Structure 1
C-alpha cells in the first residue's frame, strides 16, 4: 500500500491536468489496445495518423507490470500546463535522475536494449522526448481542444464537489483503490511505500487510463496520482434510448444521455449534440425546469449533471444513469 501523508489535509491537495501524461498514456494504450475496448472507435478513426509514427523509443518502457520511468511525464507545475512545458521539464531532468529511473525500469530485465538505454541516459531521454512529440503531433494535438475541455470540466467538477462534500468523499470516488482518512491518502497496491507530502499532492485526471491509478512517490518529482477521468463521451458518444427520444425530442434526449456519463459544461454539451452554446443553454434550461438536471456554477462557468429524477428517467435509479455507447 502507498500512504501519502498530507498533513494539511485538503489544503495540501491540488488538481491539475497534464497534456504530456495524456500522450504517454496513449502510447501505453497503443501497445495493448485489446485491453480497453472503449477506445476502439476512436483509434480506428485515427489509424491513418498513427500508421507510420515511430514510437519505439517510448513504447520500450511499456512492458505490463513494469515501472514506467517518472521522467517521461513529470507532474504538472500548475493546473493547466501546456504540452511544451511538459517536454521542457522532461528534457531538464538531471542525467543522474534519468539513469536511476532507467535502472529501476529495467530491474530484472536483461538484454541489449536494457544495456543500451541505461548506458546512455541522456540519449535515451532525448529519444523518448522525440517519440512523445511525434505522437502528440499525430494524434493528440488535433484532438486537444476537446480533451482540454473534458479535463477542465473534471477539474472544476472535483473542486465544486470538494467544497460541498469534503475531500474524503470526493477522493473515495476517484478509484476503488484510493481512500482518504485522518490526513492520509492511501492507494491499495502491491508496493509498500510511505510518502511525505510537505509541498502537497497533485491529483491528475487522465483520459487514457481506465482501470488503474498511477502513483509517483519520487523525491525528485514530488508526489502525484493519475486517476481515470470520466471523459468517455470523447471516444464514443452516448446513444439515448429510443423511448426517451420520443418523449423529449432528439436533442434533449442526447443531452441527458451525455450528462448521464459525466457532469458537463454548457460548451461541451453544445459540441456533443452539434448545436450552438445559446441553443444548448435553452435546452438545458428546459431540462432543468423539468427537474431532470441540476446546475451548479463557479464564476461564469455552469456545470450540469443529472438530478435524482433524471437518473430515474434514464433507468439508473439513485446512481448514475445508464446509457449505451455508439
Structure 2
C-alpha cells in the first residue's frame, strides 16, 4: 500500500534534514532482539550485551515488536536539526497519557499483558518507559552516539549537495528503493495507506543507522517525517568492535575520550564541536592536550586545520 504526500511549491522549500538520537535508540532495541536480521551491528551487539544483564527491558520489548508499528510517541519527529537526547526524552515524558494509550493499543505484540498494564495507568506507563529509555541510553548507547552521529552527518552533507545540484528529483532518486518522486508527490510503499498534503512546517528527512534497511514514516497528527537508511552504513563499525571509552574516560577524562573516539576520520575543530555539541574553543583546548600527548595529529588543508588520531590514539580509542 502506498503513502503519498503532495507538495506545493512552498513545501519543497521547507524540506529539511534532522538527526534523532531517540530514533536510533528505539530502533536499536529491535537489533538487540533480532541480531540475525541486523548483522551489520554485530560489533555493537557484542560490546553492549554484557552490560544489559541487570537492565529490565521487557516492557520496552513488548511495546516494540520486531516488525510493524512502533508507538509514535516514542519517536517524536525532531523539532530542531540537532536535538540532544535529553530534549527528546523530555518530549516523550510530556506525551498526553490518552494519546500514549491509544497508540500502544495499536501495537501487535506477543505480550498483551504488558500492553494492558501500560494502558491501566498510561501516565505512569509513559514515565516508566521514559525512565527505562534513559537507563538504556546510559548503559548501551551514549558513548557510541558520536560515532553514529558522524555517519548520519556525512549522509546529510552528501544529500544536501545532491539537493543543491539537482533539486528534489535528484535528492530522492536513490534515497531508497521504495521511495519515488513524481513531480509534486512523494510516494513510498508501506504497510499503511495514506494520502495528504505536506503543509505546515514541511517534511523532515531523518537518516538512520539502526533503522536499516527500511524506511519509516510518520504523519498527522505529527509533523511529516521520513526516516531512511544512511549511506555508508556498512562502514559504521568497520574498525572492528566499536569504541568503548569507559576506561579511557577514567584515564583522560570523559570529554577527551569522546573527542578521541569521534576522530574516525579527519575533522576540523568547528565540525567536531557541532557534532558533539561543544564550543569550538573547548574542542581546541582538548585537541591541544591530546596532541601534546601524541594521541592526535594536525594537518592544514587550505584554510582548515584537520585533526586525526595517531596510531597510539587508535589503540586507545578502539582497542586496536
Partner of 1:27: 29
1:91-127 Cα offsets, whole Å, 9 max, x none, are: 1111221122112225x97843232222222122112
Number of residue pairs aligned between Structure 1 and Structure 2: 256
TM-score by length of 2: 0.72
Q: Tell me the equivalent position of 1:215.
A: 217
Q: Is the 8 A contact 1:57 1:124 kept in 2?
A: no
Could you say which residue in structure 2 is the equivalent of 1:45?
47
Instruction: State the alpha-carbon separation in 1 of the partners of residues 305 and 165 from structure 2.
Output: 17
2:84 equivalent to 1:82: yes
Aligned to 2:227: 226
Give the Cα–Cα distance (whole angstroms) in 2 for the partners of residues 275 and 6 of structure 1.
Answer: 50
Which digits, 9 at most, give the CA deviation of each residue in 1:30-67, with x for residues without a partner?
11111111111221123322332222221112223331
Question: Structure 1 pair 301/163, CA: closer, same or farther in 2 (3 Å)?
Answer: farther
CA distance in structure 2 between the aligned counterparts of 1:119 and 1:83, rounded to whole angstroms: 28
Q: Which residue of 1 aligns with 2:68?
A: 66
| Ranges in structure 2 where 5+ consecutive residues have no aligned partner | 241-263, 273-293, 307-320
SS in 2 for 1:60: helix
Select the residue among 85, 96, 99 that pairs with 1:97. 99
Residue deviations 1:280-309 (CA, integer Å, cap 9, x gap): x67xx9xxxxxxxxxxxxx9799xxxxxxx
Q: Determine the structure 1 residue equivalent to 2:279.
A: none
Q: 1:278 aligns with which of 295, 298, 302?
A: 298
Where 2:161 maps in the other structure, the secondary structure is helix
Contact map agreement 2:34 2:66 (CA 8 A) in 1: no
CA RMSD of aligned residues (A): 2.9
* Alpha-carbon distance in 2 for matches of 1:139, 1:186: 35
- Which residue does the alignment assign to 2:318? none
Return 5+ residue gaps in structure 1 as ranges: 239-263, 286-298, 303-326
Q: Which residue of 1 aligns with 2:208?
A: 206
Residues 146 and 234, structure 1, Cα contact 8 Å, conserved in 2: yes
Q: 1:148-194, CA deviations, whole angstroms, 9 ceiling, x for partnerless residues?
A: 22222222222121101211122121110011122211111232111
Is residue 185 from structure 1 mapped to residue 205 from structure 2 by the alignment? Answer: no
88-97 or 114-123, which deviates more: 114-123
How many angstroms apart in 1 are the aligned matches of 2:148 and 2:12? 26
Answer yes or no: is the 8 Å Cα contact 1:265–1:301 preserved in 2. Answer: no
* SS of equivalent to 2:204: strand
Task: Name the residue aligned to 1:312.
Answer: none
In 1: Cα distance, 2:229 partner to 2:27 partner: 11
DSSP-derived class of the 1:165 partner: helix
